[in-house]
């Protein structure tokens, strides 16, 4: 991690913690040792980022993205502005915390469908295109049975 990135991260973060990412994507603190993770507060969760590995974890598993407040902020879109979806937390930090970093792509459509303008880093464009489709309901097909004249409309 460069000194410039570290300075900017200090301004945006709540500090750092030591631990690891669990299999469920949640942060597991370590009593001794463990990797250093930068801590970022979100409205409904806490997001952790490990600079050496690039891994992201959450405390509660509720956060959709890092920087979620930018999604509904009118200033994000003012003067033809766009919501920038960054590919990495490092890029988000370099941008001064403007825009978002998606953590849970499965929720992307629901969370971003009302955003008027979005700019996406090229590296994550395939994820954006895959997940920005309305979810389809589960469909069960009822097989047709041979019907006589009297129950043709049922």
- Token readout for 103 is 């953590």
Alpha-carbon separation of residue 117 from 17, 74, 154 (angstroms): 35, 11, 47
What mean pLDDT, rounded, does the chain reach? 87
- Token readout for 21 is 């990412």
Query: What's the half-sphere exposure (Cβ side, CA atoms, 13 Å) at 4?
Result: 5
Average pLDDT, integer, range 2-24: 85
Q: How confident is the model at residue 146 (pLDDT cuts 50, 70, 90)?
A: low
What pTM value is reported for the model? 0.81
């Amino acid at each position: 991690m460069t000194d410039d990135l570290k300075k900017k991260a200090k301004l945006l973060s709540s500090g750092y913690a030591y631990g690891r990412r669990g299999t469920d994507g949640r942060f597991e603190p370590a009593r001794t040792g463990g990797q250093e993770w930068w801590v970022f507060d979100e409205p409904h969760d806490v997001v952790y980022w490990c600079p050496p590995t690039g891994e992201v974890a959450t405390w509660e598993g509720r956060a959709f993205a890092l920087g979620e407040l930018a999604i509904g902020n009118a200033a994000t879109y003012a003067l033809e502005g766009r919501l920038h979806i960054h590919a990495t937390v490092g890029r988000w930090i370099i941008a001064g915390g403007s825009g978002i970093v998606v953590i849970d792509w499965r929720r992307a459509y629901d969370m971003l469908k009302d955003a008027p303008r979005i700019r996406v880093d090229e590296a994550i464009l395939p994820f954006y295109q895959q997940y920005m489709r309305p979810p389809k309901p589960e469909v069960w097909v009822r097989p047709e049975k041979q019907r006589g004249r009297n129950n043709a409309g049922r």
